[in-house]
Amino acid sequence: MDKFRICGGRALHGTVKISGAKNSALPAMAAALLTDEPVTLHNIPKVRDIITMGRLLAFMSATVSTPEFPAESYTIESKSLNDAVAPYELVKTMRASILTLGPAIARSGVAHVSLPGGCAIGARPVDLHLAALEKMGAQIATEHGYIQARVPNGGGLKGAHIVFEKITVTGTENILMAAALAEGVTILENAAREPEITDLIHLLRKMGADIQGDDTSILRIRGVSKLHGAVHGVIPDRIEAGTFLVAGAITGGEITVANCQPAHLGAVLTKLETTGVHVDTVNPCTLRVHAAKKLVASDVTTEEYPGFATDMQAQYMALATQAEGTSVITETIFENRFLHASEMIRMGANLSVDGRRAVVRGPAHLSGTTVQASDLRASAGLVLAALVAEGETVIDRVYHIDRGYEGIVEKLQDLGADIERLHFPTS
């Protein structure tokens, strides 16, 4: 299990190029199951979750161009898809495996997908995905830890009027993909509006799907009998971009964040401005962050897009430890997403957590120690805290960060950070 060793205290300067969005690439790869023609995807981030999704699709009989090593482009061809199984061994390492459920049942009328179970940040049920598919005519049983989904009498899914009780990102993606091949019209209300959803709609449209309602919470999908192959480049990763903006702000440096989509970063940019950080738009896909003269505390509440993303909460907490005053951070999306807080306290942060609320008092003098990463974004928060801490921090369990940040060590080194990966071969 690898670790990161970081010596803090250096201001970061230079340019970083943002990779493709993991959370766009994963549903795009799953969408390839909807057709027997090849789907070619570009701007894929070289991260562990993509390898896992490639393996999963290969297990489900798809031909995947590079199933075992990361690549910027993938071609996936799913010539036939019968009795597709998404096994526990793969699903347990990546909850996004649930994204194969909608396409598999829509294409072949049957799917067996392991229940993802809980994870560090919360219970994360998939009941809304299942209830929506049932409304579309699927019969679903959960047996032996698997979701066994089948459309009775060898038929196909039917369009339905679905109202999500709660906004769910992968739930919206699953139903979009299922409805694209269902008979008739599906109306999906209270749909997620994340840019990754719009990106998936763009891909599905290239494949021949009939979808209206981009960027709104009501999607209207008229199913077609067949989808075809397509070529698509996924959008830049807004969370990686936000993480590097915070890296510039927290270290008192100046970073040019290239190949990003500023329009997807609205709530993060507004929050950074409130804390005194200046971010300029250099051109339509480049931002430049300048250190604040003084970081000022500001409260934040995580929300669904276009609100402040839960995936930026840990990074913001690191920044808040350096801001003058009290910042109240309220996490509304996941019930247990403050695991990084106790590690930041060990580094000297002055903060307390009460349920879904964290109170951070700053500025605090952080000092390096050994800390443990608990999930992907928590790891990013700890890396940011370590960049500003005095002395050496060793971050354990960085496999979490490898799931979703492409080349983070190299990118930070290029910006002048004193960071290295320590390799510990697994026995």
- Is there binding between residue 156 and ligand EPU (CB under 6 A)? no
> According to the binding rule CB under 6 A, does residue 128 interact with ligand EPU?
yes
Q: Is 7 a catalytic residue?
A: no
Going by C-alpha positions, the residue among 204, 244, 196, 208 that lies closest to residue 383 is 244
Q: Which residues inside 352-391 make contact with ligand EPU, applying CB under 6 A?
A: 376-377
Residues in 262-321 that interact with ligand EPU by CB under 6 A: 310-311
Does the footprint of ligand EPU cover residue 333 (CB under 6 A)? Answer: yes
Q: How far is the CB of 68 from ligand EPU (least distance, A)?
A: 21
Placement of tokens 């960085």 in the chain: 398
| Span 48-107, contacts to ligand EPU by CB under 6 A | 95-96
Q: Which of 125, 252, 407, 416 binds ligand EPU (CB under 6 A)?
A: 125
Instruction: Find how far residue 107's CA is from the centre of its chain.
Output: 25
**Residue 424 CB, nearest distance to ligand EPU (Å)?**
24
The end-to-end CA distance of the chain, in Å, is: 9
Nearer to ligand EPU, 166 or 294 (CB): 166
Write each residue from 158 to 187 as x if it is in contact with ligand EPU (CB under 6 A), else as -, in one continuous string: --------x-xxxx----------------
Among residues 238, 229, 364, 371, the alpha carbon closest in space to that of 312 is found at 238
CA distance 162 to 144: 28
Q: Which of 1, 14, 82, 122: binder of ligand EPU (CB under 6 A)?
A: 122
Specify whether the CB–CB gap between 324 and 312 falls below 8 A.
no
Residues 114, 93: Cα–Cα separation, whole Å: 11
Residue 400 interacts with ligand EPU (CB under 6 A): yes or no: no
Among residues 258, 289, 284, 285, which one has the least CA distance to residue 273?
Answer: 289
Query: Which of the residues 238 through 267 are near ligand EPU (CB under 6 A)?
Result: none
Q: Which two tokens stand for residue 313?
A: 């909460």
Q: Which one, of 1, 55, 5, lies nearest residue 26 by Cα?
A: 55
Q: Compute CA distances 124 → 278, 325, 335, 398, whole Å.
A: 36, 33, 9, 22
Q: By CB under 6 A, name the one of 60, 126, 279, 291 that touches ligand EPU.
A: 126
The label of the residue with tokens 């050994």 reads 370
Binding site for ligand EPU (CB under 6 A): 23, 26, 95-96, 122-129, 166, 168-171, 310-311, 333-334, 376-377, 404
As annotated, the active-site residues are: 119
